């Protein structure tokens, strides 16, 4: 059976991709950011996941204003790196896992999450930057990817509660896939940042860290944070953190926090990164027996 073995959260600031592509990741500005990912890179080498369900948002790359899917799942064979206006990032193509993706799509729809199914698209920094942060610069990515794109741009975006519930449904979908696969789920974007208007540059270290605390604990109170609170406390683009809730929802009630990193700033943004492991209740019962 397929199983979700870990959840990873990470910001996906495009400038991090530039730093990797231009070899600047250990300079004075970027060094402290990338240092916080070293643990995870080593961990990924031993974990060797088969597939990553990568929750991200498209930034006017694959989707323009013509079609705005709230939740879209990539069921294609492969995805190319998008040209976001300055040429595509020089990263390998992202290989899909259509069997698992279609299984998740079908399961979610039967579970009353009406997904949009995408067979062809390019993937932008929202997806490729986390890949670079976790895997560096390999010739071929060491995992297959099921992209899950969330609308966090045009309001209303999905509620935190809906995102958490979608994560729970993804957990059930993965567990019912017959092939033995080691699956991770990543939630990307955030943390606090505002890229527009006279209030641009807003960051909120205290709030961000409270959010990290919540995701590390047994509580599910983060699912009830309102859009208004994200806007007030974390800037207009901090709303991307609802995507972390999909990851957290998929892990079940109890998690063990393996790694945590927070840094201000990267360009306009606060960087946050978490690695969580689900603590299965079955395992606990097994020990008790």
Active site residues per annotation: 125, 193
157-173: burial string, b at 16+ Cβ within 10 Å, e else = bbbbbbbbbbbbbbbeb
Considering only residues 75 through 104, tell me which ones interact with another protein, judged by CB under 8 A: 83-86
Positions in 14-43 near another protein (CB under 8 A) = 14-15
Assess contact for 6 and 47: CB atoms under 8 A.
yes
Of 91-99, 101-109, 177-185, 204-212, the segment contacting another protein by CB under 8 A is 204-212
Please choose, out of 41-49, 136-144, 193-201, 251-259, the segment that lies near another protein by the rule CB under 8 A: 193-201
Task: Using alpha carbons, list the distances in angstroms from residue 122 to 41, 44, 79, 128.
Answer: 25, 25, 5, 11
**DSSP annotation of 240:** G
> Which position among 119, 137, 176, 267 is part of the footprint of another protein (CB under 8 A)?
267
Please, which residue, 175 or 224, has the CB nearer to another protein? 224
In the window 269-288, what residues touch another protein (CB under 8 A)?
270
List all residues 6 or more positions away from 39 whose beta carbon is below 8 Å from its beta carbon: 259, 275
- For another protein, the binding residues in 236-255 under the rule CB under 8 A are 236
Residues in contact with 141: Cβ distance below 8 Å, sequence separation at least 6, in sequence order:
91, 92, 94, 95, 131, 135
Q: How many CB atoms lie within 10 A of CB 286?
A: 9
Residue of 1, 67, 110, 195 interacting with another protein (CB under 8 A): 195
Q: Binding residues for another protein, per CB under 8 A?
A: 14-15, 59-61, 64-66, 83-86, 153-156, 159, 161, 192, 194-205, 207, 224, 227-228, 231-233, 236, 264-265, 267-268, 270
């Amino acid at each position: 059976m397929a199983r979700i073995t870990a959840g990873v959260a990470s910001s996906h600031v495009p400038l991090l991709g530039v730093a990797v592509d231009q070899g600047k990741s250990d300079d004075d500005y970027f060094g402290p950011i990338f240092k916080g990912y070293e643990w995870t890179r080593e961990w990924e080498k031993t974990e060797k996941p088969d597939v990553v369900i990568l929750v991200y948002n498209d930034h006017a790359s694959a989707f323009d204003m013509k079609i705005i899917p709230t939740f879209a799942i990539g069921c294609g064979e492969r995805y190319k790196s998008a040209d976001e206006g300055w040429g595509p990032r020089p990263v390998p193509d992202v290989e899909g896992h259509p069997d698992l993706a279609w299984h998740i799509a079908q399961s979610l729809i039967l579970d009353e999450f009406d997904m949009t199914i995408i067979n062809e698209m390019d993937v932008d920094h929202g997806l490729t930057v986390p890949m670079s942060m976790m895997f560096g610069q390999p010739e071929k990515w060491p995992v297959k990817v099921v992209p899950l794109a969330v609308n966090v741009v045009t309001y209303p975006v999905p509620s935190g509660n809906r995102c958490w519930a979608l994560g729970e449904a993804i957990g059930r979908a993965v567990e019912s896939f017959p092939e033995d696969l080691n699956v991770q789920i990543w939630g990307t974007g955030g943390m606090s940042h505002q890229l527009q208007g006279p209030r641009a540059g807003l960051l909120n270290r205290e709030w961000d860290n409270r959010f990290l605390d919540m995701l590390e604990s047994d509580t599910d109170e983060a699912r009830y944070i309102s859009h208004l609170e994200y806007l007030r406390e974390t800037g207009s683009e901090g709303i991307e953190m609802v995507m972390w809730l999909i990851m957290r929802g998929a892990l079940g009630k109890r998690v063990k926090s393996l790694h945590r990193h927070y840094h201000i700033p990267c360009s306009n943004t606060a960087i946050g990164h978490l690695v969580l492991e689900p603590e299965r209740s079955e395992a606990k019962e097994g020990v008790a027996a």
